[in-house]
């Protein structure tokens, strides 16, 4: 029975999508949900819960294999919320059998979620989920799920060209009774073993593994094993110069893949088989045939990539929608707090207005005309001082708002490496506890494997920690307060850094933001004496405005419009010129003379302070003795030109 279940799971992971549709589960899941909610006893409730989580996992797998990544992600999140809920954890605590049932399903759910992360390009998250699935399965000695997790981890290391790590994972099969993998997905394991040997140039060993895998798959009529091992044999025979056998097995792989189209676990599709025959004919110096299969591979790859891009776009939309909902909740809290503050301020203003009316009324009755005029003069003077104070506060608030936007972008950029640090730290903690258990048992071999995993995790933590540190260091250098000191500066380098900083900062705030950018830098440009921080802020402000302009135009323009920002430099007889140009909507003639005025902005309320161009103008003209000019054609685009004289 165990062997049958394991075989069913592995076959399901590979090609369930070719024969089933997820909508057939809807009615079944509704019935199981009702049975779970209306169960008369805990035993019936547990039985319904197990059937329900298996149906949820199966539906999630099918949607993933069909390329419906967004739907699959939603199904997986709902499955985790259901199975990891406090109710489920308390329901499966009565016996060891209950615990094994709970952790076995959790391991299976985690492994298949890792599979979804892999096919959507999140390989590090995929490896993390596979490791977690393996440790959950090993905790209860669930060999079927251990086999799947080990195979998945070995495949990831193989794809990343980490051959020693891949071999280390494959060696773990020696700790598992052979009947748990030789009777199920043995041909898949043999394919992985053969590819590792092929990549390490052990051609005889690879050939033997692929042949044995092909025999096993033929015996079980397992088309995934037939496909992968045929492709492996074709590669081996190409390398050994056996032209006929290489062609035969390469054509066999094509025939199988025309039926199943794709093997997600091995990142294999019809274009892979065509590329193999392209390599075959290239190796045996048959350029016409090689070119034919290269064209077929390109066509299939493009067709597959186009479809996969649509699926990944839908998947990203789901992730962004989830982040948006979390952001909206936080925004609602901030808006509510802001509303309370506004109401309180209005109440104070109302009180002051009432008091002012009373005072004016009393003054008019008690004072003579000259005293009333003097009092009014004092009140006007007080109001003017308050207006100046309010204006200063407004400038400070707008600066803080801009700083908040930049901080949000930095936080979003840093969050990615910190997520990996947290994930690997959590898994490392579990590994330490498991190592302690294995040491107490005296199992030093298993302890070595655990310590190797721990070492791998620490390497990843160090890598992502340094990555976060470099982000912070770069932003601190950019935001460091300037003392106005001028030094010889490479303007080309500063312009290039500002362009990329602006682009990635905007991308961090809005993942949907897209624009082309290019640099046209004069390679003979001399070093120029400027204040680097001040000059960098000018460039960053002009480039940010350019990206904003093309992004706004893209919202209403036709699909043929391609947003583009260009930064260029050139040396002139009198000095140098730096240009920041865009193909946005341009600046109307009626407001060109106002754009350098303080607080003048064309952006919506809350999106611009109206100080950026004014401060930039002062930095260039007063701080560096240069010129800041603007050329714009409405509907065509805008170019800002910085002119600096030679010192």
How does pLDDT run across 277-298, given as a tens digit for each residue? 989 999 999 998 888 888 888 8
pLDDT digits (tens, 9 = 90+) for 212-239: 989 988 988 888 889 989 999 999 999 9
16 has a pLDDT exceeding 60: no
Confidence band for 4, pLDDT divided at 50, 70 and 90: very low
Asked which of 121-130, 244-253, 501-510, 635-644 is least confident by mean pLDDT, the reply is: 501-510
- Does the residue 638 lie in any domain? yes
Same domain, 390 and 529: no
pLDDT digits (tens, 9 = 90+) for 459-495: 878 877 876 775 665 555 545 555 678 888 999 998 8
Which of 11, 3, 10, 8 is CA-nearest to residue 183?
Answer: 3
Average pLDDT for residues 323-343, to the nearest whole number? 60
Residue 607 DSSP symbol:
T
Average pLDDT for residues 208-215, to the nearest whole number? 91
- Does the residue 139 lie in any domain? no
Domain at 554, CATH number: 3.30.565.10
- Does the residue 548 lie in any domain? yes
What is the reported pLDDT for 71?
85
Contact 268, 257 (CB under 8 A): yes
pLDDT digits (tens, 9 = 90+) for 435-460: 888 788 877 777 877 788 888 878 87
Average pLDDT for residues 387-401, to the nearest whole number? 58
Q: What is the mean pLDDT of the chain?
A: 79
Same domain, 621 and 637: yes
Same domain, 637 and 545: yes
442: left (phi over 0), alpha (psi -120 to 50) or beta: left
10 has a pLDDT exceeding 80: no
Query: Greater confidence, 305 or 196?
Result: 196
- Does the residue 376 lie in any domain? yes
- Does the residue 375 lie in any domain? yes
8 has a pLDDT exceeding 60: no
CB-based burial, 230-244: b 16+ in 10 Å, e otherwise = bbbbbbbbbbeebee
Same domain, 641 and 539: yes
Q: Give the separation between CA 214 and CA 230, rounded to whole angstroms.
A: 7
Tokens 């390469």 label which residue?
250
Same domain, 473 and 500: no
What is the reported pLDDT for 18?
40
Residue 18 DSSP symbol:
G
% of the chain surpassing 90 pLDDT: 15
- Does the residue 559 lie in any domain? yes
Same domain, 598 and 505: yes
Same domain, 498 and 632: yes
Tokens coding 446:
């298993």
Same domain, 502 and 456: no
Same domain, 501 and 638: yes
pTM: 0.48
Same domain, 504 and 420: no
What is the reported pLDDT for 335?
60
Same domain, 492 and 407: no
Last residue of a domain, one of 444, 461, 479: 479
Tokens coding 598:
């303080």
Q: Give the separation between CA 545 and CA 616, rounded to whole angstroms.
A: 12
400 has a pLDDT exceeding 60: no
Which helix (H) or strand (E) is 522 found in, with range?
Answer: none
Last residue of a domain, one of 479, 513, 545: 479
Residues in the chain: 647
Question: Which residues touch 584 (CB under 8 Å, ≥6 apart)?
Answer: 546, 549, 550, 552, 553, 563, 637, 638
DSSP H helices, 140-242, are 143-159, 163-171, 186-199, 203-220, 223-240
Q: What is the DSSP string of 89-101?
A: HHHT-SSHHHHHH
482: left (phi over 0), alpha (psi -120 to 50) or beta: beta
Number of domains in the chain: 2
Tokens 């043995």 label which residue?
186
Confidence band for 148, pLDDT divided at 50, 70 and 90: confident
pLDDT digits (tens, 9 = 90+) for 580-620: 999 988 988 888 888 888 767 777 755 666 778 888 888 89
Q: Which domain holds residue 383?
A: 367-479
- Does the residue 447 lie in any domain? yes
Last residue of a domain, one of 447, 479, 511: 479
121: left (phi over 0), alpha (psi -120 to 50) or beta: left
Contact 11, 222 (CB under 8 A): yes
Q: Give the separation between CA 127 and CA 156, rounded to whole angstroms.
A: 7
Contact 260, 248 (CB under 8 A): no
Asked which of 119-128, 138-147, 302-311, 623-632 is least confident by mean pLDDT, the reply is: 302-311
- Does the residue 378 lie in any domain? yes
Same domain, 496 and 405: no
């Amino acid at each position: 029975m165990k062997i049958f279940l394991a075989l069913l799971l592995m076959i399901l992971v590979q090609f369930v999508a070719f024969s089933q549709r997820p909508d057939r589960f809807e009615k079944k899941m509704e019935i199981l949900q009702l049975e779970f909610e209306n169960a008369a006893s805990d035993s019936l409730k547990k039985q319904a819960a197990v059937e329900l989580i298996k149906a949820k996992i199966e539906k999630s797998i099918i949607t993933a294999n069909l390329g419906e990544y967004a739907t699959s992600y939603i199904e997986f999140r709902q499955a985790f919320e259901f199975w990891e809920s406090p109710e489920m954890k308390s329901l499966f605590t009565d016996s060891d059998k209950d615990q094994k049932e709970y952790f076995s399903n959790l391991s299976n759910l985690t492994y298949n979620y890792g599979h979804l992360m892999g096919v959507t390009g999140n390989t590090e998250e995929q490896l993390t989920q596979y490791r977690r699935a393996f440790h959950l399965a090993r905790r209860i000695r669930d060999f079927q799920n251990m086999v799947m997790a080990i195979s998945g981890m070995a495949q990831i290391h193989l794809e990343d060209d980490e051959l020693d790590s891949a071999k280390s994972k494959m060696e773990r099969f020696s700790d598992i009774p052979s009947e748990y993998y030789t009777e199920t997905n043995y041909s898949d394991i043999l394919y992985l073993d053969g590819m590792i040997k092929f990549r390490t140039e052990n051609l005889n060993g690879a050939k033997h593994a692929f042949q044995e895998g092909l025999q096993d798959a033929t015996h079980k009529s397992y088309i995934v094993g037939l496909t992968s091992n045929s492709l492996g044999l074709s590669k081996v025979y190409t390398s050994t110069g056996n032209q006929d056998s290489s062609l035969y097995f390469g054509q066999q792989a094509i025939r199988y893949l025309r039926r199943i189209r794709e093997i997600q676990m091995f990142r294999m599709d019809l274009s892979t088989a065509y590329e193999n025959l392209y390599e075959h004919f290239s190796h045996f110096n048959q350029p016409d045939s090689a070119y034919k299969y290269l064209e077929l591979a390109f066509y299939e790859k493009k067709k597959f990539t186009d479809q996969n891009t649509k699926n990944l776009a839908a998947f990203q939309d789901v992730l962004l929608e989830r982040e948006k909902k979390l952001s909206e909740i936080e925004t609602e809290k901030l808006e509510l707090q802001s509303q309370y503050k506004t109401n309180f301020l209005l109440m104070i203003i109302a009180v002051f207005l009432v008091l002012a009316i009373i005072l004016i009324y009393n003054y008019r009755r008690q004072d003579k005309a000259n005293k009333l005029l003097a009092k009014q003069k004092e009140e006007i003077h007080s109001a003017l001082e308050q207006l100046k104070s309010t204006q200063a506060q407004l400038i400070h608030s707008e600066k803080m708002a801009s700083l908040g936007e930049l901080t949000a972008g930095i936080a979003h950029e840093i969050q990615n490496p910190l997520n990996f640090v947290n994930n690997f730290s959590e898994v490392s903690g579990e590994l330490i506890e498991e190592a302690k258990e294995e040491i107490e048992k005296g199992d030093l071999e298993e302890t070595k494997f655990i310590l190797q995993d721990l070492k791998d995790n620490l390497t990843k933590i160090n890598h992502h920690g340094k990555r976060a540190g470099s982000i912070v260091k770069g932003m601190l250098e950019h935001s460091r307060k300037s003392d106005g000191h001028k030094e010889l500066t490479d303007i080309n380098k500063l312009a290039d850094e500002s362009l990329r900083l602006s682009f990635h900062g905007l991308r961090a705030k809005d993942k949907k933001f897209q624009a082309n950018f290019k640099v046209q830098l004069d390679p003979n440009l001399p070093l120029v004496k400027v204040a680097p921080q001040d000059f960098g802020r000018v460039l960053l402000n002009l480039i940010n405005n350019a990206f904003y302009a093309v992004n706004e135009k893209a919202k209403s323009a036709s699909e043929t419009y391609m947003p583009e920002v260009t930064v260029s430099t050139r040396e002139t007889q009198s000095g140098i010129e730096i240009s920041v140009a865009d193909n946005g909507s341009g600046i109307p003639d009626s407001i060109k003379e106002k754009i350098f005025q303080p607080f003048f902005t064309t952006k919506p309320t809350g999106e611009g302070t109206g100080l950026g161009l004014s401060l930039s103008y002062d930095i260039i003209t007063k701080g560096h003795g240069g010129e800041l000019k603007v050329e714009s054609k409405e509907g065509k685009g805008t170019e800002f030109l910085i002119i600096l004289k030679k010192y």
